Structure 1
Amino acid sequence: MSNNSISALTAAGILRTSLVVSALALACSSSFAADLPLKFLGDPGSLSTATQTINIKPGTKYVNVTGGQTVKFVVGDKSFAWDFDVGTNVQSFDLNRIAPANMLAQPVKVYVAQDVKSL
């Protein structure tokens, strides 16, 4: 076997291992936030101090927020606010975990970008 063949096999093995590790990391991070206690997902916020308003409609599947901000969520004629004072380990979770009971008719995933001020 030539050195080029060995190098190609080694590169393929490294790539395969990297893909497996990446897939496992993604799976762990997605389920990790689902297991976190609510206290790690932030706190109820004040509607009057919200810095962003997001309207949740029947077809809404996800929303994007930034850590450190207070967001007002509007669902029909109801609303609530949440202060996303989260740790760097929280990247996404189901909005139903923090929304008042029965407010959302469907799952809505919250994607939390890290606050650049906390870097």
Structure 2
Amino acid sequence: MHERAYGEQPTNSQEPITQLETLCHRPNAWRNSQVRDALPDPLAAWLDLQDGLDRQAHLRTLLTLSRDNGWEHAVKAMDDTLEATGGLDPASVELQASRLAAGQDPIEYDDPIDLSEYDIAFRH
């Protein structure tokens, strides 16, 4: 048995969260990552369709929310938000993850929400 010489980070790469930070810096490794395999199929498929910069931004959101609220809550929040709105608005995902971590009921939407109308309104 030998003491670790450097750092306190876990060396177990079996947990998706341990790969997430590296993946945020190297988003092209997405398709072969354990992070992708650990996500629900609809969420992984949606992220597959995103360009590199958008995927990287969503992975950073997942990393931040995982640190703040736990992996399970962050993933569930992203999956719930994607299902309800058809996208991953960071504010909606963060709100959902916070509610789940606090033990509150998730936000339920009657119909999918199309926020593109707000984008049009605020451009003018």
TM score, norm. by length of structure 2: 0.23
Choose between structure 1 and 2: higher helix proportion: 2
Larger Cα Rg: Structure 1 or Structure 2? Answer: 1
Choose between structure 1 and 2: higher strand proportion: 1
TM score, norm. by length of structure 1: 0.24
Higher relative contact order (CA 8 A, sep 6+): 1
